[in-house]
Amino acid sequence: MANIASAKKRAKQSEVRRAHNASLRSELRTAIKKVRKAVASGDKESAKTDFLSAQSTIDSIADKKIIHKNAASRHKSKLSNAIKAMA
């Protein structure tokens, strides 16, 4: 455990940041799962609307550097291709 005041503060800040990032990462996973579930059920319209909301979630999380921008791009590409393959 930290003994110096600045180290205590840093540890506290890190814990708050970790919890916040974890909740955003969870939100990302949920958005992706929602699109995959719609694709699996064969509901193209639902998949498209879910994809639009997932896309904004993915972009905002990438902007905050919680995931890398290329990882965000890869997620969007895979989901988009899955929706296109439904036709």
Q: To which H or E segment does residue 25 belong?
A: helix 5-41
Has residue 15 been placed in a domain? Answer: no
- The predicted structure's pLDDT at residue 5: 96
Pairwise CA distance, residues 38 & 46, whole Å: 6
Has residue 44 been placed in a domain? Answer: yes
How many CB atoms sit inside 10 A of residue 82's CB?
16
Has residue 6 been placed in a domain? Answer: no
Has residue 27 been placed in a domain? Answer: no
**Is residue 79 within 8 Å of residue 51, measured between CB atoms?**
yes
Looking at this protein, which amino acid is placed at residue 29? R
Has residue 77 been placed in a domain? Answer: yes
Q: Which domain holds residue 65?
A: 32-87
How many CB atoms sit inside 10 A of residue 38's CB?
23
Its pTM stands at 0.85
> What confidence category does residue 11 fall into, taking pLDDT thresholds of 50, 70 and 90?
very high
What are 33-79's pLDDT values in tens digits? 999 999 999 999 999 999 999 999 999 999 999 999 999 999 999 99
Structurally, how many domains does the chain consist of?
1
